[in-house]
Amino acid sequence: MRATFNAPLLMIVLLLAACRSDPVHYHTLTPLHSGAPRSAQVGESLRIERVMVPPQVDRSQIVIRQGSNELVLLETEWWGASLADEVQSALINELNSRPGGRERMTLRVEVQRFDLVPGQYALIDARWRMRAGQSGDQISNELICQTVLQQPSGAAVQDLVMAQQANLRKLAIIVSDANRAGAQRCP
């Protein structure tokens, strides 16, 4: 009778062990703050109105590119927030550490490509619009630019995330420089 009791118990334990899933890892595009002192901040003169990302990568899970036409969802590697929110938070973080511009501007960012290619690179292709005034105000000055940034990366997800953080840092510098120059021309 004892052998009969242990067999079902053993089967339950084996079934539960087979159902075990790998832990989910969460990643952010906002790096740790360096602790550098902040000057007059861009946030006082530049407001991010909206950030859009391509629907193919607008998921909780990190999406990588394999080959020329394959996208792979990484089931155990997730963003800490929606990808659009991650991009916006990273830009706000970086812009707030840059000097501000002369007049109030709003910024809209449309990410057209957000590629993570393990062992090769991270790429961001963003069309961004900066305009003077607030949403309902008359537009006196508008600048529309396209910026493509690519950073080499290792094969690990952490490497890809850090490479994309570097791309967003560079994008924030470009936007900040345009803001300080009065949004006269694309850098």
pLDDT at 92 (0 to 100) = 92
DSSP per position, 143-163: EEEEEEEEEE--SSHHHHHHH
40 — pLDDT class (breaks 50, 70, 90): very low
- The C-alpha atoms of residue 161 and residue 122 are separated, in whole angstroms, by 8
Mean pLDDT of 128-147: 78
pTM: 0.82
- The C-alpha atoms of residue 88 and residue 51 are separated, in whole angstroms, by 6
pLDDT at residue 1 tops 80: no
pLDDT tens, residue by residue, 55-107: 999 999 999 999 989 999 999 999 999 999 999 999 999 998 877 666 678 99
pLDDT at 97 (0 to 100) = 83
Superfamily of domain 27-180, CATH level 4? ABC-type transport auxiliary lipoprotein component (3.40.50.10610)
| β-bridge partners, 107 | 48, 130
Please state, rounded to an integer, the average pLDDT across all residues of the chain.
85
